[in-house]
Structure 1
Amino acid sequence: MAISSVLLTGANGSLAIPAVHHLLSTHPDITAILTVRNPSASSDPNTQRLQATIAPFKDRVSLRALDLANLPAVHDFARSLASEIASGTVPPLASIICNAFYWNLTGPPELTSDGYEKTFQINHLAHAALILRLLTSCVSNARILLFSSDAHYPGKNSLEKYPPSLPDVEETGEGQVNIDSLVHPRDIKANDDPLGHGFHRYAVSKLAIIAWMYALNRRLHAAAGDEGDSSDHRLKGGVTAIAVNPGNLSDSRALRVNTPTSIKIMSRGGCGRVGSWGDYSHAEGYFTLRKKDESSPESKDEKKQELLWRKTLEWTGIGAEDTVLAL
């Protein structure tokens, strides 16, 4: 009988499908809540593969639609799942795995229906909203797993042309950059270096994930108290977040979609395999594969972390009534 559940976004991804199979095969006490943009897409071979993978475990799997490019849908999904968990219909969450991601290396910035830059919203904002709304649905010592990349660290990825950085001021003026540019990018024409700017948007989103993770952990510790016991009866103790650089996956479909032909060819022989997802019990912070690692200096800038935290709440529409954490 399942006693806890795991929520995983982007469940039909190249890394997610084998992870789902491993999870269900080795943990009979776990229910998997898997999200994809369209779970009934009969023309999508990735979703078909996922459906075949989970078929033997259908009693412990819930495949659900979730469009991370639509923030109202994200809020509705989180509210509905939290209600199911509260009623006992679904076991509480042992982990939230934020696996889904997006990039576009072949065209200009794209906006979601919410009016935000698509890469930043899918990679960071939508997952942040999910996490903040679902914290009270987690068991003690639950783990929040975010995916980052070495691309967040200037100079570490060969595709980098423009080093990633987070604005540190809100006001505009000469020589200053408004932090709202993260969600409202300047107009870049399709022929204005789409690979360089597209990868920069991706790298910045991964930098934001790590910076926000540090701010999240501070608040999780504050809510739990020094003794590890929850100071708020709605939040279980020991919940922490980690951001993992999973390495490169040469057969990832991400390298086949919105990606220049040159990178598609390079990826067939030039990328290594991703490391397996670890247990990460009681872990927090930044990891490369299964090894604790140091994230970039900028990601550790607490001033920028706190500014990003506040703006993320604003952009996602998360208020004090939506999450257990002190905002």
Structure 2
Amino acid sequence: MIDAKNTSPSDDIPLVVILGPTASGKTKLAIDLATKIDGEIISADSRQVYRGMDIGTGKDFADYLPFFAQDEKSTSGIERLHLVDIIEAGESYNVAWFQRDFQQAYKAIIARQRTPILCGGSGMYIEAILQNYENTQVPINQLLRDNLEQKTDEQLQALFKEKYKNDNQKPDTSTRKRLIRAIEIGDWMLEREINQSESNNIPFSIKHSIIFGISIPVEVRRARITKRLNERLENGMIEEVKNLLEKGVPPEKLIFYGLEYKFITEYLMGQLGYDEMVKRLEIAIHQFAKRQMTFFRSMERKNLKINWLDGLLSIEILTDQILNFIKNERNDV
């Protein structure tokens, strides 16, 4: 529940959403909020689901230790953090499976009369929950893929722009495989003309959600990304990718995961020098953060109201702002 001291148990416990670009401080804010409203965190990160992919995905488990310790029911934190480390690296995962896993975690949290906090930067995962996406995995079109494999990167980019020319939702196309998959999804969606009215036929939906976004100036975000990247490289991120390869995770799968795993794998395979790897990875992360913000803005154009917070303020102030916002909203009902 939001405020155990001032409110009675309610069947209408809201889903609190905390989103923002990479390096914006989402995790720390979610933890601080969860400790004050008796909440549990559901991760909305498409790569944190994988075991062994810790440093590169920014799991920052040290930040969770106080959060875990204050839970009398579970010293491991299992009842406080969800959808992290749920499958092996190298396996596949998609938005439809995330919807399924989210529903299970969400219902369990509500049953415990705690407040669910959905926190992450994977916009499509968050939007899938809030907009009640049709729970259907886009199937593989092998004939289309074979045809696309014959095309140059420039031709693929042209096709991609055609598929998404009227759509503000921009999938990750950081690798050739991701670009082909994006075209495949775009082709499937155009054929079936998936729209919101179709999505509304799904039984499960979130009745009440409050969305908060962390906004930080571009120059500050860029500085944080650069600093964090250097720290992760110094603290074992290359060794992490090397260990995954040694455990048998296919290089092409790590490359498919993108960003840190793509460029470090290419470095370990001798395709990139160290300096070139760091340079290209840093640029890619900056571009990724920009795409995240573009996606969040597109969510607002789909009538999802995001209450933006100043990411330069302290975590304590941001938490107080969220608590005051929720309190005022409840009083207005």
TM-score of the pair, normalised by structure 1: 0.39
Greater fraction of residues in helix: 2
TM-score w.r.t. length of structure 2: 0.39
- Structure label with greater radius of gyration: 2
Structure with greater contact order relative to length (CA < 8 Å, sep ≥ 6): 2
